[in-house]
């Protein structure tokens, strides 16, 4: 945890985040060579240096300024040639000019330093409502260590840091487990263990949260708890947001471990629930879910034969296949699929 905390502190210092609360009609956006740049304006013209837009910020800004799905067309237009870029730029800023103070509330626009092509530039990282309360990954980890000290007794086994999210996975291991983990011996690798996940999104794409589940070291598969009532979540909003989180995490870890035990118990029971051919079970269950495509179903069916998947035609085998196939997906899609696997685990046992 200490090296991670040091890393997060260095990132925050290097980024030097600055928040501007202003009407988006004063932010001029321009399309240039496949990139979006912007600068603040006032009655006298340009009022800031030019800034790049991150993909997240561009998407968030377009939702505030442009008609629904209009941004996709503007990007295609800008990619045609220089004339297309000019038309796309004029169209964006025409809609922005309609955001008069009496028609739209100010937005919070966060800018940071980022290194692009070897040089540091100012970048608009995200756009939020005026009531949004920025809460950094470093702040969250600081609060967890201060107000949920039990977390430091667990083992951090997986770290995912992207510009859009932070996901940390902690597991409960005893001294014997540690030995197995270090030597790679099967007793631990094949046995699921209680897991606690920590989530945050500095760009507002996900709530701050803690939740319980299980983790399998052999393949880093995980399954969260099927009930969101066992989770602890907080919205990035309000002046006292940090205080609410500090209060909320107190005593959360023991409760989460108890919920994680439920998932582990359910998974162990699923090893003895016969479901017939797992491939047919996957077809039957996943084809009902509108957002799960045929490509993923094929990948999940292929995962049935992976050495890490529980052998046999059991419910646990089907759950393993889904969670293993999900690991090649983008983090939020992976999260949705792991949640789906958890619901299917619970339903299957019922």
Q: What is the mean pLDDT of residues 14-22?
A: 93
What's the whole-number mean pLDDT along residues 114-118?
89
Q: What is the pLDDT of residue 183?
A: 60
**Cβ-based neighbours of 230, under 8 Å, separated by 6 or more:** 211, 212, 255, 256, 259
Predicted TM-score of the model (pTM): 0.88
pLDDT at 5: 92
Q: Quick check: helix, strand or coil at residue 287?
A: coil
User: What is the enclosing helix (H) or strand (E) of 186?
Assistant: helix 186-189
What is the average per-residue pLDDT within 330-345? Answer: 95
Mean pLDDT (the chain, rounded): 91
pLDDT at position 197 is 96
Compute CA distances 209 → 27, 141, 198, 232, 282, whole Å: 32, 12, 6, 5, 30
The alpha carbon torsion through 141, 144, 145, 151 (nearest 10 deg) reads -110
How sure is the predictor about 280, in pLDDT bands with cuts at 50, 70 and 90? Answer: very high
- Reported as a single tens digit per residue, the pLDDT across 51-71 is 999 999 999 999 999 999 999
Q: Say how far apart CA 102 and CA 280 lie, in whole Å.
A: 57
When comparing pLDDT for 191 and 7, which is higher?
Answer: 7
């Amino acid at each position: 945890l200490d090296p991670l905390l040091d890393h997060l502190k260095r990132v925050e210092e290097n980024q030097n985040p600055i928040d501007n609360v202003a009407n988006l009609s004063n932010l001029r956006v321009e399309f240039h060579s496949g990139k979006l740049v912007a600068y603040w304006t006032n009655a006298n013209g340009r009022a800031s240096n030019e800034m790049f837009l991150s993909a997240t910020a561009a998407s968030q800004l377009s939702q505030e300024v442009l008609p629904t799905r209009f941004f996709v067309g503007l990007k295609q237009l800008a990619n045609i040639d220089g004339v297309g870029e000019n038309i796309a730029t004029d169209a964006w800023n025409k809609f922005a000019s309609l955001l008069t103070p009496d028609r739209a509330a100010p937005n919070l626009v966060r800018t940071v330093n980022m290194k692009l092509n070897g040089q540091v530039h100012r970048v608009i990282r995200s756009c939020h409502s005026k009531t949004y309360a920025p809460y950094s990954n470093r702040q969250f980890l600081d609060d967890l260590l201060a107000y949920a000290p039990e977390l430091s007794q667990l083992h951090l086994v997986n770290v995912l840091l992207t510009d859009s999210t932070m996901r940390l996975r902690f597991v409960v291991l005893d001294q014997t487990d540690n030995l197995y983990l270090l030597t790679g011996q099967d007793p631990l690798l094949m046995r699921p263990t209680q897991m606690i996940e920590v989530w945050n999104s500095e760009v507002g794409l996900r709530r701050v949260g803690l939740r319980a589940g299980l983790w399998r070291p052999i393949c880093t598969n995980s399954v969260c708890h099927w009930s969101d009532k066992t989770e602890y979540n907080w919205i990035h909003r309000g002046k006292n947001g940090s205080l609410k989180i500090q209060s909320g995490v107190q005593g959360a870890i023991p409760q989460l471990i108890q919920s994680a035990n439920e998932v582990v118990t359910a998974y162990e029971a699923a090893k003895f629930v016969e479901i017939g051919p797992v491939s047919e079970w996957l077809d039957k269950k996943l084809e009902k879910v509108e957002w799960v495509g045929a490509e993923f179903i094929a990948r999940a069916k292929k995962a049935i034969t992976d050495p890490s998947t529980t052998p046999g035609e059991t419910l646990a085998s089907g759950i393993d296949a889904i969670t293993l196939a999900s690991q090649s997906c983008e983090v939020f899609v992976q999260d949705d699929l792991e949640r789906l696997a958890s619901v299917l685990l619970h339903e299957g046992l019922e």
